[in-house]
A = this chain, B = another copy of it.
Amino acid sequence: MLDKIREECGVFGIYTKTNTNVSMSAYAALYALQHRGQESCGIAVNNSGIINYKRGMGLVNEVFKKEHLEQLNGGKIAIGHVRYSASGTAHHHNTLPLVVKHVKGPMALSYNGNLINAPELREDYENKGAIFHTMSGAEVLAYAVTEQRLVCNSIEESLEKAMYKIKGAYSLAIMSPKKLIAARDPNGIRPLCLGELPDGAGYVVASESCALNAVGASFTRDILPGEIVVISDEGINSITTHCGNKSALCVFEYIYFARPDSIIEGVSVHEARIRAGEFLADEHPVDADVVIGVPESGLDAALGYAQRSGIPYGIGLIKNRYVGRTFIQLSQETRESSVKIKLSAMKSVISGKRVVVIDDSIVRGTTMRLIIKILREAGAKEIHIRLSSPPFKNTCFFGADINSKGALIANQKTHEEIRQEIGADTLGYLSIESVGKIARSANCEFCTGCFSGKYPIEVPDELPQDKFDLKLNS
């Protein structure tokens, strides 16, 4: 309902030495990763080489009923996935983990990211006789691995070879009959970290460290850009053939995508957001009475702005946590009334005040306009919008759903036009320079492509549209 850029996925994998309740761990972990994908989810469990799975459209608590977890019970290895998707591909058959059978047996695969050359690869495979069941990049990945499986001795070697072919962002977890494999693209665009279960009981990989906590695992380290981690009965092994490239972690993971309690590349997401608020206070100071955050994504930066500026921090907007995907709008109801049900202003905090409002970003500007309207109705005297990221001006090719520049208000209008359209008194964005410093102690460089237009690897002019459904000849 609130127009936000969406991260497209969260990935989880667990390997235990003895049969423990891996499906239950995956279930708990998907709750922790739910913010990375709320459209569909799934869990695949390897029970002595037989891979069973359950996937479905909806949130974890909608898809998984007790009987599903009971049916998936047992097994030593599991992988899980939460997913968003570009509009139009929200079909059941695109849910992950992908579970297939190939020349060496069953395989399950979860991934987060976007392959730039998926269409070309797909066409190649089709021209060799491949059949595709889904529109997902995961199936292209599966073919790339399977292709190498014909000539390689192990699944990890197959993946290593396949990684020469696939271009783009990917953090993935693959489950074979006997192994759990995790890997990250050579630029490390999407996060992926490794954890350990207590008492040497096993290993866990996850898109974010918050999922490690959820299953009682301790954080070990981030998986390196380009690294392949292989977990099996023989322990844990690392293949670093593809390592050594310039890293380019998506900086928006810190600003919005990740959960504040996650730690990515050694930096607390919460702290990075606090710092973004501080930089914002330096770059765009204003004389005001209160600083408020748009819940929940703006709260941390609002605290940082308040602390640095000395303006009091207030709780000025309340979010109704019961309004979810399934809120019913009968025809006569407008978008505006929906926002009013979801967000309400705290009159006593706002009324008669000059208010600094912090949010992470503006996409189309429609929600911000309504938020300002609600605040004005609550009596705000002045409204100063501060955003903890630079303006979105460019497509993301690596898994966030900025697939058309035309939908980005900052790409279409001037700063002043935007200010007027949303109805703010002033409007300030964090600069590109500062965004690069919010996680300055991180062990990595950042991708700021959506802000700067500069990408870590060569990208096409436009995000390639899938051309499969257009092949109508027969």
Interface residue ranges, A against B (CB under 8 Å): 21, 24, 27-28, 31-32, 34-35, 48-50, 59-61, 64-66, 69-70, 73, 93, 99-106, 125-133, 139, 142-143, 146-147, 149-150, 154-155, 176-179, 210, 213-214, 216, 259-261, 263, 268, 270-271, 296, 299-300, 303, 307, 312-315, 318, 320-324, 326-328, 330, 332-333, 337, 340-341, 344-349, 468-474
Q: Please pick, from B21, B48, B142, B340, the residue contacting A213 in the complex, using a CB distance under 8 A.
A: B340
Indicate if the CB atoms of B129 and A146 lie closer than 8 Å. Answer: yes
CB within 8 Å for A303 and B299 given contacts A69-B330, A150-B127: no
Docked complex Cα distance between A303 and B340 (Å): 25
User: Which of chain B's residues have a CB closer than 8 A to the CB of A213?
Assistant: 340, 344
A332 in complex: contacting residue of B21, B50, B346, B347, CB < 8 Å: B21
Minimum CB–CB distance for A346 against chain B, Å? 5
Contacts of A303 in B (CB 8 A): 313-315
For the complex formed, measure the closest distance between the CB of A236 and the CB atoms of chain B, giving whole angstroms: 16
Interchain Cβ contacts under 8 Å between A and B, 22 examples: A21-B332, A24-B330, A28-B337, A28-B341, A31-B341, A32-B341, A49-B470, A50-B469, A61-B326, A73-B330, A100-B132, A101-B131, A106-B471, A131-B139, A154-B474, A177-B473, A179-B474, A214-B341, A260-B315, A261-B346, A263-B347, A271-B348
Within 8 Å CB of A259, what residues of B?
318
Q: How far is the CA of A314 from the CA of B471 in the complex (A)?
A: 54
**Does A101 contact B315, Cβ atoms closer than 8 Å?**
no
Contact of B131 with A100 in the complex, beta carbons under 8 Å: yes
Contact between A270 and B346, CB atoms less than 8 A apart: yes
Contact yes or no, A318 B260, CB < 8 A: yes
Please state if A143 and B127 are interface contacts (CB–CB under 8 Å).
no
Within the complex, the shortest CB–CB distance from A197 to chain B, in Å, comes to 13
Please give, as numbers and ranges, the residues of chain B lying within 8 Å of A318 by CB-CB distance.
259-261
Q: Are A131 and B142 in contact (CB under 8 A)?
A: yes
Q: How far is the CA of A97 from the CA of B147 in the complex (A)?
A: 27
Question: Roughly how many angstroms separate A131 CA and B312 CA in the complex, as a whole number?
Answer: 58
Can you tell how many copies of this chain the complex includes? 4
User: Once the chains are docked, how many angstroms separate the CA of A349 from the CA of B272?
Assistant: 12
Contact among B24, B296, B327 for A333, CB-based, below 8 A: B24
Q: Which of A31, A216, A299 has the most CB of B within 10 A?
A: A31
| Least CB distance, A394 to chain B, in whole angstroms | 30
A136 to chain B, nearest CB (A): 12
**Across the interface, which residues of B come within 8 angstroms of A127, CB to CB?**
103, 150
Chain B neighbourhood of A474, CB < 8 A: 104-105, 154-155, 176-179
Instruction: Please give 13 more A-B residue pairs, beta carbons under 8 A apart, in addition to A125-B129, A260-B346, A261-B346.
Output: A31-B341, A49-B469, A66-B328, A104-B471, A105-B474, A127-B150, A130-B131, A131-B139, A216-B340, A261-B344, A263-B348, A268-B347, A270-B349
Quick one: given A104-B473, A344-B261, are A65 and B328 in contact (CB under 8 Å)?
yes
| B300–A105 touching, CB < 8 Å | no
A32 contact set on B, CB distance < 8 A: 320, 341
| A315 / chain B contacts, CB cutoff of 8 Å | 260, 270, 299-300, 303
- The chain B residue sitting closest to A268, CB to CB, is B348
Q: Which residues of B lie under 8 Å from residue A330 when comparing CB positions?
A: 21, 24, 66, 69-70, 73
CA A165 – CA B60 in complex, angstroms?
44
Which chain B residues lie closer than 8 Å to A473 at the CB level? 104-105, 177-178
Smallest beta-carbon distance A79→chain B, Å: 14
Contact check, A210 vs B321: say whether CB atoms are below 8 A apart.
no
**In the assembly, what is the distance between CA of A313 and CA of B314, in Å?**
11
